[in-house]
Amino acid sequence: MSRQFIISLDQGTTSSRALLVDHEGKIQGMVQREFKQIFPKSGWVEHDPMEILSSQMQVLQELLDKEKVRPSEILAIGITNQRETTVVWDKNSGEPVYNAIVWQDKRTANICEHLKKSGLKEHVQKTTGLVIDSYFSGTKVKWILDNVEGVKKKAADGDLLMGTIDSWLVWNMTKEHNHYTDYTNASRTMIYDIVNLKWDDKMLKALGIPKSMLPEVKPSAAHFGDYEYKNVKIPISGIAGDQQAALFGQACFKKGTAKNTYGTGCFMLMNTGEEPQFSKNGLLTTIAYGLNGKVNYALEGSIFIAGAAIQWLRDGMELITHAEETEKLANSIEGENSVYVVPAFAGLGAPYWDMYARGAIFGLTRDTGKAHIAKATLEALAYQTKDILKAMEDDSRIQLKNLRVDGGACANDYLMQFQADILDSEVHRPEVIESTAMGAAFLAGIQVGLWEQSDIDQNRPMNHIFKPTFDRVKRKRLYKKWQKAVERCKGWEEEE
Ligand code: ADP
């Protein structure tokens, strides 16, 4: 049988990667290239769209050369991308009119304040599922239209296009310059109606964005056009924003399945089924994926300080030299830890939302040593995850089925076991933790008929399933103490 591959293009915030995935869903090769981060002012973050494109095309080419892949062996290409980052370009010349404004960029905070004052808060939540924030694409487009010379007129004349990174790549990779995006990326723009699946006129008007700039929105598995390689047309057939791709890559297809990525911060998404659920706890409602004529929704929450707290143990406190030492330290303490660390270094996010909170260590006694602090810091990641999952369950009235994990810190067995214990839910750690890239590959492979959705769940070997061991009383007692610790951190800084 001839070889058959799916290519996954993973366009991330700091690097572009290309992965070769075989018909069994195994990764056979990967090439990665970092690109420049541009910081023109405090709080501003930009990327050069041309460099994003060239780095992505280079890693693709290098991968095919390195793995000696013939064009006819590639069935399809899937794309996953850093979300919200926005490009505006001239459709005649193909030139961007400004650098890409990255999701982390805060320059549009005042535009957001203005939107809030115009009374759009409720409309934004009920329509786009989001909270008004500079994070999302809409205000970034407005900033470019308002601040780059001559651009507003060109936009009004219909000469400019906007897109998230997936759109920018597809427009450049297809001969016909297809201007498309998928539901997941559209749902991060703050101008897309996730209930009725259409661009939202009210938000477009509020931000002064002409409709002619917008891409057509397609399901996440769809034909986005063909990439021609050595005279062979290869379909681009899957697109999803990175966190949604990870959810899909973790096969979270059922209501109540969730994934958590334990990186510097944590990104958590729970599939809530075919109806959008709106949060009372400040969580985001977003499209998980569009597939087979249906849309699945997710609730999303993030933790600002997760792996970053482990970095603090290493670089700030100098208690450890490597992150993985925390596991041994935690295991060196028998029984329950009476110490709690609340890493509210920059305030508290969901579900507490207190920017005046600051971190603290509680429960110190004469015998407290660094092992207790390390153990408590790991446990803080698990408690924060529980806080968000509890809010998700409360918002959606859907009970968590199990938690699927990835990201650097999921390698820590102590953390994963404690997570299962405190959630009272299984924690599934797959063999392949490249969930994001795999999600894009799965979407593309499903669209071209290589796989069925059910194959994906069945063919994901598990590295370990952590089963809960705490009884109800113990679980409640420990969690209550965490909540007490969090309460005491609130409002530490004075409000101005
Ligand atoms: P990012 O993509 O945000 O850079 P990664 O997924 O690479 O993050 O994960 C790195 C983070 O995970 C770091 O903050 C690091 O401190 C933490 N980490 C890595 N390995 C471990 C471990 N074995 N135990 C605890 N934390 C870890």
Of 392, 385, 410, the C-alpha closest to 466 is 410
Nearest CA to ligand 1 atom 23: 324
Q: Is 302 in the pocket of ligand 1 (CB under 6 A)?
A: no
Q: Is 243 in the pocket of ligand 1 (CB under 6 A)?
A: no
Whether residue 242 contacts residue 279, with contact meaning beta carbons closer than 8 Å, is answered with no
| CATH architecture classification, 5-240 | 2-Layer Sandwich (3.30)
What is the residue extent of each domain of the chain? Answer: 5-240
Rounded to the nearest angstrom, the distance between the alpha carbon of 406 and the centre of ligand 1 is 10
Q: Is 263 in the pocket of ligand 1 (CB under 6 A)?
A: yes
Pairing label, strands 15-22, 27-34: antiparallel
Q: How far is CA 385 from the centre of its chain?
A: 15
Q: Is 411 in the pocket of ligand 1 (CB under 6 A)?
A: yes
Whether residue 319 contacts residue 278, with contact meaning beta carbons closer than 8 Å, is answered with no
Tokens of 461: 């070997």
Nearest CA to ligand 1 atom 8: 263
The Cβ of residue 481 has, within 10 Å, a number of other Cβ atoms equal to 16
Bridge partners, residue 73, by sequence: none
Tokens of 326: 């925390």
What are the DSSP E strand ranges found in 386-461?
402-406, 427-430
Nearest atom in ligand 1 to 306's CA:
14
pLDDT single digits (tens) 299-347 = 999 898 899 999 999 999 999 999 999 999 999 999 888 999 999 988 8
Which residues lie below 8 Å from residue 424, measured CB to CB, with a gap of 6+? 468, 470, 472, 475
Rounded to the nearest angstrom, the distance between the alpha carbon of 163 and the centre of ligand 1 is 31
Tokens of 466: 């952590």
Rounded to the nearest angstrom, the distance between the alpha carbon of 346 and the centre of ligand 1 is 19
What is the three-class DSSP state of 271? strand
Which of 13, 37, 262 should be mutated for ligand 1, with most atoms under 8 A from CB? 262
Rounded to the nearest angstrom, the distance between the alpha carbon of 264 and the centre of ligand 1 is 6
Whether residue 389 contacts residue 351, with contact meaning beta carbons closer than 8 Å, is answered with no
DSSP 8-state secondary structure symbol assigned to residue 102: P
Q: How far is CA 11 from the centre of its chain?
A: 12
Q: Is 326 in the pocket of ligand 1 (CB under 6 A)?
A: yes
pLDDT tens digit at each of 496 positions of the chain: 578 999 999 999 889 999 999 999 999 999 999 999 899 988 889 999 999 999 999 999 999 999 999 999 999 999 999 999 999 999 999 999 999 999 888 899 899 999 999 999 999 999 999 999 888 999 999 999 999 999 999 999 999 999 999 999 999 999 999 999 999 999 999 999 999 999 999 999 999 999 999 999 999 999 999 999 988 999 999 999 999 999 999 999 999 999 999 988 899 999 999 999 999 998 999 999 999 899 999 999 989 889 999 999 999 999 999 999 999 999 999 988 899 999 998 888 889 888 889 999 999 999 999 999 999 999 999 999 999 999 999 999 999 989 999 999 999 999 999 999 999 999 999 998 889 999 999 999 999 999 999 888 887 889 999 999 999 999 999 999 999 999 999 989 876 6
Which of 412, 419, 463 should be mutated for ligand 1, with most atoms under 8 A from CB? 412
